[in-house]
Amino acid sequence: MRIWELPAGRGDLLERARAAAGSAAEAFLREDGQGAFLLCETGTAPAGVIDKRVEILFAGGRSGLSAGPWVFCVGLWVPEEYAVEFRAWYRHEHVPILLECPQWNGFRFVEQEAGRGRQYYALHWLAERAALDSEYRKISRATPWFRRFARHDWFDGAFVRVLGRRAA
């Protein structure tokens, strides 16, 4: 799987990237106005596009074109010594709580090769943007396991969060 990142102000690049990625690609405009991103399986990224090749580690619920108009992408860098426990927390506690939310349709948890530590991306498909403010998300961020991780400077505040709305 690939995550292609596109800079802001380059609408022409979005159309070229969509064509290069094929019909199954999902394109999202960043809500912060800082560009767009595509999720795809194949293709050659056009010049000016950052091509992140990732491996799906686990997934749940629905994802893809029919899974909702929003994708919440969270970039999570984790030190190597915490990687196994972090993946276990995400898979067995955090995401199951989120998936109880009716507007939280599904997710993919992927990994990109990193020079040190582990670079993960959590891709969450949402039926409504309001899922991000749901009680389920608040609960998922208030568990003892979450609080244990929160003591580390690499956790939570250091994560990169991008909300994208499906491009027409």
Q: Are 72 and 108 contacting, i.e. CB atoms less than 8 angstroms apart?
A: no
Beta carbons within 10 angstroms of residue 49's beta carbon: 24
Q: Report pLDDT for 124.
A: 98
CA quadruple 95, 102, 30, 150: dihedral, nearest 10: -30
Residue 162: domain span: 2-166
Query: Residue 114: what are its φ and ψ, rounded to 5°?
Result: -130, 150
Q: What is the pLDDT of residues 18-52, one digit of tens each?
A: 999 988 899 999 999 999 999 999 999 999 999 99
Quick check: 65 pLDDT over 90? no
CA quadruple 59, 130, 71, 160: dihedral, nearest 10: -90
Per the structure, the count of domains in the chain is 1
The mean of the pLDDT values for the chain is 95
- Please compute the mean of the pLDDT values over residues 99-111 and round it to a whole number: 97
pTM score: 0.94
- 3-state class percentages of the chain: helix first, strand second, coil last, to nearest 5: 30, 35, 35
The domain that holds 134 is classified in CATH as 3.30.70.100
Beta carbons within 10 angstroms of residue 26's beta carbon: 20
